[in-house]
C-alpha cells in the first residue's frame, strides 16, 4: 500500500510539474504587442472624443452667434426708431 501511495504521489507531482512547464510566460515581445494595441485603442478613443467635442463646440458657437446677431439687430432697430425725425 505504501508503494502505491508513493507511486501515486510521484505521478501527481510529475503531472503538476509538467503542466507548469508547458505554460509559457508572456515575454517582452508579447508585452510590446499588447502595449501597441492598447495605444491604438486609446488613440481611437481620443479621436472620437475630440470629434464629439468639436461638434458640440461648433453647434454652441453657431447658436451663440445667431443669438448675438439677433440681439444686435433688435438694438439697431431701437436706435433707428429713436433717430428718425418726427
49 found inside a domain: no
Structural domain of 80:
55-86
77 found inside a domain: yes
Q: What is the pTM of this model?
A: 0.49
> Mean of the pLDDT values across residues 68-84?
83
Number of domains in the chain: 1
Say how far apart CA 50 and CA 3 lie, in whole Å: 71
Task: Give the confidence band of 27 by pLDDT, cuts at 50, 70, 90.
Answer: confident
> Mean of the pLDDT values across residues 19-39?
80
Say how far apart CA 66 and CA 74 lie, in whole Å: 12
First to last CA, the chain: 126
Tens digits of per-residue pLDDT, 31-74?
999 999 999 999 999 999 999 999 999 999 999 999 999 999 88
pLDDT for 41: 96
85 found inside a domain: yes
Exposure b/e, 11-34, CB count within 10 A at least 16 = b: eeeeeeeeeeeeeeeeeeeeeeee
Amino acid at each position: 500500500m505504501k508503494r502505491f501511495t508513493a507511486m501515486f504521489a510521484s505521478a501527481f507531482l510529475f503531472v503538476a510539474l509538467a503542466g507548469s512547464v508547458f505554460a509559457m510566460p508572456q515575454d517582452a515581445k508579447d508585452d510590446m504587442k499588447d502595449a501597441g494595441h492598447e495605444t491604438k485603442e486609446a488613440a481611437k478613443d481620443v479621436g472620437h472624443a475630440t470629434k464629439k467635442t468639436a461638434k458640440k463646440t461648433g453647434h454652441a458657437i453657431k447658436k451663440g452667434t445667431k443669438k448675438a446677431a439677433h440681439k444686435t439687430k433688435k438694438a439697431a432697430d431701437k436706435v433707428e426708431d429713436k433717430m428718425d425725425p418726427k
